[in-house]
Amino acid sequence: MNFLGHIYLTGNDRELLLGNFMADSIKGNNYLEYPQSIQKGILLHRFIDSYTDDHPSFRDSTSKLHADFGHYSGVLVDIFYDHFLAKNWNDFHSTPLEVFAQEFYTYMDNRYDKMTSAMKYMFPYMRDNNWFMRYTTLQGIEKTLTEMGGRIGREFELEKSVQNLENEYESFQKDFDIFITDIIIATKNKRKELLQAE
């Protein structure tokens, strides 16, 4: 899952949100340097990543992209799944996506000083370009991938994967539908475990 998926799977547990959001910029045991609430958010993020990578439906999705995009296939499917989540948001959440997104951006604005330097750099772009709403359309996904390609290099032209998504849209959607049902349950249990831990 990409940013939207991670934030959605945090549920209503606000104390986990900041850690989950900035977990990718905190490596190894460095998470132990943070307050316990942030530590738990980081551990939740890592659980989501591990569960996602091991899920058969996610692997089925990445296998559709390996020939064209190699080791970036997982990154692309993360974004594809955020697209399906955003596009079908009303099936998953009672708050409209636009409202949910703005509430999240406001929450993070108020915690900007607690972010890692990497997230302080990235977050304003995310907020100002409203990435969560951008995920709702294929054009938005393509723009996101074009920008991503500019940061990591043009070897694979990641934005071309949108054509793969269009060509096998129903198949990717089916993979997502199976995956999201499973990860919602698994993450709910993990959140409960983390919040009960001392």
This prediction has a pTM of 0.94
Q: What is the pLDDT of residue 24?
A: 92
The encoded tokens of residue 186 equal 């698994």
What per-residue confidence (pLDDT) applies to 75?
92
Instruction: For the chain, 198 residues long, give each residue's pLDDT as a single digit of tens.
Output: 899 999 999 988 887 999 999 999 999 999 999 999 999 999 999 999 999 999 999 999 999 999 999 989 999 999 999 999 999 999 999 999 999 999 999 999 999 999 999 999 999 999 999 999 999 999 999 998 888 765 655 566 889 999 999 999 999 999 999 999 999 999 999 999 998 876
DSSP 50-94: HHHHH-HHHHHHHHTTHHHHGGGHHHHHHHHHHHHHHHTGGGT-S
Question: What's the pLDDT score for residue 147?
Answer: 82
pLDDT of residue 154: 57
Q: Tokens 């990435």 identify what position?
A: 131
96: containing domain: 3-196
The total domain count for the chain is: 1
CA 168 to CA 148: how far, in whole Å? 22
Alpha helix segments (H runs only) across the chain: 3-9, 14-22, 36-54, 56-63, 66-69, 73-87, 97-109, 117-128, 131-134, 138-152, 161-167, 169-196
d(CA 171, CA 175): 6
Report the pLDDT value the prediction gives residue 12, as an integer from 0 to 100: 85
**7: buried, middle or exposed (CB in 10 Å: 19+, 13-18, 0-12)?**
buried
